[in-house]
Every structure is written in C-alpha cells, then in structure tokens.
Amino acid sequence: MTVAADPGADPGVDTKSELSGRGSMGDVVFRGIAVIAATLIMVALAAVFIFLGIEGIPGFSVDEQHYAGQGSFLGLVVPLLYATMYAAVLALIVAVPFSVAIALFISHYAPRRIATPVAYVIDLLAAVPSVVFGLWGAVVLGPYLVPTHAWLSENLAWLPFFDGQPSGNGRTLFTASIVLAVMILPIITSICREVFAQTPRLHEEAALALGATRWEMVRYAVFPYARSGMVSAVMLGLGRALGETMAIAMIVSPKVLISLFIIGTNNPETIAAHIAQGYKESTPDRLSVLIATGLVLFAFTFLVNALARWIVARGRAK
C-alpha cells in the first residue's frame, strides 16, 4: 500500500490565498434574509393571537347589553357556534357525495378529453369569489327555491328541518347551505381527485385481472387506498365552510338562536356572519365581544384542521 506523504510537506503554497473564500458573505446575507422571512411568519401568527387576545379577552365579560340580547358570552357564543357547525354540516351533506362522484368521474370514468376540461372547470369554480356566490344565492337561487321551500314544508313537515312556516323569499339556511356546498365542492373534489389518481396502478390492474367490474375495482382497490385522503378532504371542506362569511351573511336573514328549522324567516346565525353584520356598531365593548367570538371561531377551525392533518399523517404512517 502506498502510504501518504506528509501533507504539510509542500511549503511553496500559501493555503489562505488560494482556497479561502470571498463568496461566503453573500451566503450569510441571503440565508439571513430567508431566516428573517420565515421568522416573520412566526411573529405574524403570534401577533394575531396577541392582538386578538388584547382586544378580545375583555369581550368575554362586558356588560350584558353587549351580548346581542343573550345575556352572557356563553349565551351568545353557544348558539353561534351551533349555527356555524350546523350550516357547515348541512353543506357537507350536500357536497360530499357530489364531490366524490365528480372526483371519480375525472379520475376513473370520464374519457381523458372530457376529464381535463372538467377538472379545469371545477378549479374555476373555486376561483369565483364568495361575494359573487352570496349575491347569486340571495338574488337568484333564493327566489328560485321558494316553491321548493313551500313543497318541503307541505310534504316533509314531519322532519324537524322543514316543520314550520316557509320563508317567502328563499333567503334561508336551506338556500345558504346549497350555495355553501357549491363553494366547498371544488376543494373536496380536487383533493379526492388527487388521492384517487394516486391509487397504485398495480392494485387497479390486479382487481380488473380478477374479473372485477369498474365499480368493483373502485370499491375494492381505489376506496380503501384513498380513505384517509378522502376523510381529510372532507375535513378541509368543513374548515372552509366554518370560516365562510359572505355567502351566509348575504343570503340569510339571521337571528341568534338554536333551531333545526332551516326554511323559515329566522335562521340560526353563524359566528362569521354575526361578526360581518355587527362590526359597524363600533362601541368598543361590542367590538371586543365580536373579536372574542372571532377567537372562538379561529380556535374551532384550528381544531378541525388539526384533526384533518392528524388523519392524513396517520394514513401515511400505515
């Protein structure tokens, strides 16, 4: 084996001058900027909590008169939170079957030359601003659905949802949940579409090779694989529906109440709509109350999103 000569035995060369760097300054600066940007996000989020806290915490206990006739913070926030959940769940009930079906349509059923434009159109649907949806729901869809409201209250009054005097203008939670469903449909569809498309080809081919029909292939090869992704898609849709303000604020004529009835003139009011409709009353105490309800909404959507992420992470670990 050839043994190395003493590495130091080359005295003619000055180590420093040839290999020592000059470019490292740029690296330090650039990295610094990147770190600052990343840290700014931390600061911003901390600021969100701090400022909402400073302005909102007093809102938990101000004079009774500021709780929109509900007497206390809990008395106000519980019905609001109920309505927020209720509207979001109604929207999910409408949106989920359609989203899954459309995702399947794009990933497994439609011929490619239809699937690509359809996927694009669904993405466009996601780009329509919520205020436009709200306008459409209030001015077009609501009045159009008035006969439907009447029909529901006549024929399905044995269900608590439809038991009562129907609204004459269609600006109800029923209309709002349909609009909300259309709004969250693209999110759920696009995530489902991605997970469906990621099903290993081998599984699908194995199912087909066993003589499965297309539906059996979807049921036994695609769905089991995509389950956690579908659940998280639904949760993300739920998160979006919870925070949606304008569509509901513009469509429904709301009141702070807990009720299952969704086709009448008085509809349960959601947190976001409550804030949007109450922000003009600028007494500081009232604003504190609104900000406090905003904090509750933030915390709640955070929990829902965290749950969705946890499900995804668990699905991946398997």
Partner 1 sequence: MSNTDLSNEETKLSHATLPRGAQWLVGVAAVALGGLALVLGMGIVGAAVIGLLGFLIGYPLWALLVENRRSATDKLVTGLVWTAFAVAVIPLIWLVYTVVSRGAATLSPEFLTYSMRSVTGDEQGGLYHALMGTLIVTGIAAVISIPIGIMTAIYLIEYGKGNRLAKTITFLVDVMTGIPSIVAGLFAFALFTLLVGPGTRFGFGGGVALSLLMIPTVVRSTEEMLKLVPDDLREAAYALGVPKWRTITKMVLPTAIGGIVTGVVLSISRVIGETAPLLVASGFNPNLNTSPFEDSPMMTVPVFIYTQLSEATAKGVEYAWGGALVLFILVMVLNLIARIVGTIFAPKTGR
Partner 2 sequence: MSIQVKDTSIFYGDFKAVEDVTMSIKPKSVTAFIGPSGCGKSTFLRTLNRMHEVIPGAYVEGKISIHGQDIYGPNVDPVAVRRKVGMVFQRPNPFPTMSIYDNVLAGNKLNSKRIKKSEADSIVESALRGANLWNEVKDRLSKPGMGLSGGQQQRLCIARAIAVQPEVLLMDEPCSALDPISTAAIEDLIHELKSDYTIVIVTHNMQQAARVSDDTGFFNLKAAGQPGHLVEFNPTKQMFTKPDNPDTEAYISGRFG
Q: Which of 29, 156, 159, 258 binds partner 1 (CB under 8 A)?
A: 29
Tokens, residue 157? 């009054």
* Residue 139 contacts partner 1 per CB under 8 A: yes
Tokens, residue 152? 């529901």
Distance CA 90, CA 93 (A): 5
**38-41 long-range contacts, Cβ below 8 Å, gap at least 24?**
none
Is residue 249 a contact partner of residue 276, using CB atoms and an 8 Å limit? yes
Q: Which of 284, 310, 313, 314 binds partner 1 (CB under 8 A)?
A: 284
Using the minimum distance from each CB to partner 2, give the nearer residue, 12 or 129.
12
Q: Which stretch binds partner 1 (CB under 8 A): 60-68, 168-176, 259-267, 292-300?
A: 292-300
Using the minimum distance from each CB to partner 2, give the nearer residue, 20 or 282.
20
Q: Which does 79 bind (CB under 5 to 8 A by kind): partner 1, partner 2, none?
A: none
CA dihedral sign of residues 25, 31, 36, 39: negative
* Residue 129 contacts partner 2 per CB under 8 A: no
Q: Which stretch binds partner 2 (CB under 8 A): 10-18, 28-36, 182-190, 236-244?
A: 10-18
Q: Which does 111 bind (CB under 5 to 8 A by kind): partner 2, partner 1, none?
A: none
Distance CA 67, CA 74 (A): 9
Q: Which of 153, 259, 267, 305 binds partner 1 (CB under 8 A)?
A: 305
Query: 3-state class of 159 per DSSP?
Result: coil
Q: Which does 18 bind (CB under 5 to 8 A by kind): partner 2, partner 1, none?
A: partner 2
Is residue 268 a contact partner of residue 173, using CB atoms and an 8 Å limit? yes
Spatial CA neighbour of 226 closest among 197, 188, 187:
197
Distance CA 235, CA 92 (A): 9
* Residue 282 contacts partner 2 per CB under 8 A: no
Nearest approach, Cβ of 215 to partner 1 (angstroms)? 4
Contacts to partner 2 from residues 13-32, by CB under 8 A:
13, 15-16, 18-24
Task: Return phi, psi of residue 198, to 5°.
Answer: -85, -5
**Which residues contribute to the site for partner 2 (CB under 8 A)?**
1-13, 15-16, 18-24
